[in-house]
Amino acid sequence: MEPLRNSLGKFREENNAMRAQSAGLCSSIEELDLTIKMLNDRMVHESIPLSEEKRLVKEIKDLEKTRSKVISNAANRAKLQGTVVEKEAIQDQVKIIGEGIDGIKKERQAVRSKIKVLEDELKLVDAEIGLLQEDLDAATARKDKAYESLQELRAVRDAKNASSMHNRTVLTRARDYSSRNMLTELQELHKTEVDKFMTQWCESKAFREDYEKRILTSLNSRQLTRDGRMRNPDEKPIFIESQAPAPAPEPIPVKLPAKQAKEVPAPQADDAPKTEAPSKGPVKSHKAKAALDADDDYEAEPLKEKAKPTEADVAKLKEIKRQEEIEKNKLALERKKKQAEKQAAKAAARAQKEAEKKLKVLKEEKKAKKKSGAADTDEPSESDAKSDEAMEAPVEQEVAPASTMIKKEQKESARHRNVVSKAPPPKAILKRKKAQSYWSWAGPAAMVAAVLVALLAVLGYYQYYLPANASN
């Protein structure tokens, strides 16, 4: 783009310079000659004073002096005329490139707007990432704290189970010695363990209290007192102090991102946590727990109470639930109606198909009887007509109960889904063979005999009578 602009500026500068040079000069040689001729004609033909004539002569001389300049200007003008085409081509290129640049500018503007939108979204995402990072740090801190408490609890468990594990190892060793009949080793083990127990019993008060606490359940199960005596009927069982369960850690509220916070629904009135009744424990445990709670109140800040749902919210929720139940009932009724209509349509189609099948069977039987050459007497025809009527009548009777069943199903389908019709089933029709008498065969037999006699007469005529006439 820059070279084209430079070339256009060069053309413009040359044109301006040529115009500046040709200022006060004729544009061509012909124009110069014409002006000189006009001045000469004026001098010759007009009556002018001498001063005017001298002025005209001076102008003619000045014009003659500018002839060389006029010739050079004409040459330059012709040269510039040749470069006009190149100038127009350059201008066209500049115009096309300018249009392309405008389109690129518009595209750049659209891209910048998209980049701005994406930058805004990126800022939101960065903010959410920051919130999530804070939550992650808090969760990591909670995890570390929970792990430390777990390690402490494991250490406490191991310390409490150490005596049990030691006793198990001693018992396994004793069983091993007894199974091998190693009496000396067993006696030494017994002596060392008894001495160790007695030294601990005499030296440590905590060991004595722990031992007494451990054997209380065994004494109770064997109905013994604290000193190992049999319990009297009026004595109560040993009271065992149950350790109060450790209070569950309160959940720390986690900050959700803006989008997730909008998506999370408000807590409903029905889903409000039900406060459990405190377990009945000893008075000491309750006092200790109250003291611990008081200390915790000084150490940690109390959490904010959850906002209780108002009566308006509860009423709205009830109304919404009622509307949902009404819609569900409507959908269920529509579904039942559609199912009843489908069942009725299926029953009607089934009954129609059965009727068509029976009519088709009757027609086929009629055709078969006609082909077999049944007797054309009046009695058989009347019996056939009666049998046809008897067959068609049950078919109509079957169709009628089917239609009544369909109507009943349509009426009762709104209340009961599976409806059993109480209409009697269609009666089975037994097809009897027609009793045909021997006289029914007499007519066909006579007709067959007459046809045979006619055929024999025709054959005799052609074989005997015609040859005899031809010989005569």
> Which band of pLDDT confidence, cut at 50, 70 and 90, is reported for residue 300?
very low
Which pLDDT does position 187 carry in this prediction?
92
Which pLDDT does position 375 carry in this prediction?
47
425 versus 279: which is more confidently predicted? Answer: 425
**What mean pLDDT do residues 383-410 have?**
48
pLDDT (tens digit, 9 = 90+) per residue, 232-275? Answer: 888 777 766 555 555 555 555 544 544 454 454 544 444 444 44
**What mean pLDDT do residues 83-97 have?**
75
Distance separating alpha carbons of residues 355 and 352, to the nearest angstrom: 5
Contact 70, 26 (CB under 8 A): yes
pLDDT (tens digit, 9 = 90+) per residue, 117-155? Answer: 999 999 999 999 999 999 999 999 999 999 999 999 999
147 versus 89: which is more confidently predicted? Answer: 147
Please state which of the ranges 91-100, 103-112, 147-156, 386-395 shows the lowest mean pLDDT. 386-395
Tokens of 239: 């009271």
Which pLDDT does position 306 carry in this prediction?
47
DSSP calls for 12-47 = HHHHHHHHHHTTTS-SSHHHHHHHHHHHHHHHHHS-
Cβ of 132: how many Cβ atoms within 10 Å?
16
> Which band of pLDDT confidence, cut at 50, 70 and 90, is reported for residue 14?
low
Distance separating alpha carbons of residues 73 and 66, to the nearest angstrom: 10
Tokens of 276: 């459990």
Q: How far is CA 397 from the centre of its chain?
A: 55
Would the pTM count as exceeding 0.75? no
> Which band of pLDDT confidence, cut at 50, 70 and 90, is reported for residue 2?
low
User: Which long-range contacts (C-beta less than 8 Å, at least 24 apart) are formed by 250-259?
Assistant: 250/303, 252/138, 252/142, 253/303, 254/135, 254/138, 254/139, 255/131, 255/134, 255/135, 256/131, 257/128, 257/131, 257/132, 258/124, 258/127, 258/128, 259/128
Which pLDDT does position 1 carry in this prediction?
55
Q: Report helix angle 378-412 to 311-371, nearest 10.
A: 170
Which pLDDT does position 418 carry in this prediction?
47
Which pLDDT does position 323 carry in this prediction?
84
Which pLDDT does position 292 carry in this prediction?
42
Distance separating alpha carbons of residues 153 and 75, to the nearest angstrom: 111
pLDDT (tens digit, 9 = 90+) per residue, 187-208? Answer: 999 999 999 989 988 998 988 8
Task: Give percent of the chain with pLDDT exceeding 70.
Answer: 62
pLDDT at 79 over 80: no
Tokens of 358: 């029976």
Tokens of 248: 């569950």
Task: Give percent of the chain with pLDDT exceeding 90.
Answer: 17
pLDDT at 64 over 90: no
116 versus 419: which is more confidently predicted? Answer: 116
311 versus 108: which is more confidently predicted? Answer: 108
Domain residues of the chain, as ranges? 2-136, 329-425, 444-472
Which pLDDT does position 385 carry in this prediction?
46
Which pLDDT does position 150 carry in this prediction?
96
The mean pLDDT value of the chain amounts to 73
Q: According to the per-residue pLDDT averaged within each range, which of 43-47, 142-146, 219-223, 404-408 is highest?
A: 142-146
Which pLDDT does position 399 carry in this prediction?
43
Please state which of the ranges 74-88, 191-205, 348-362 shows the lowest mean pLDDT. 74-88
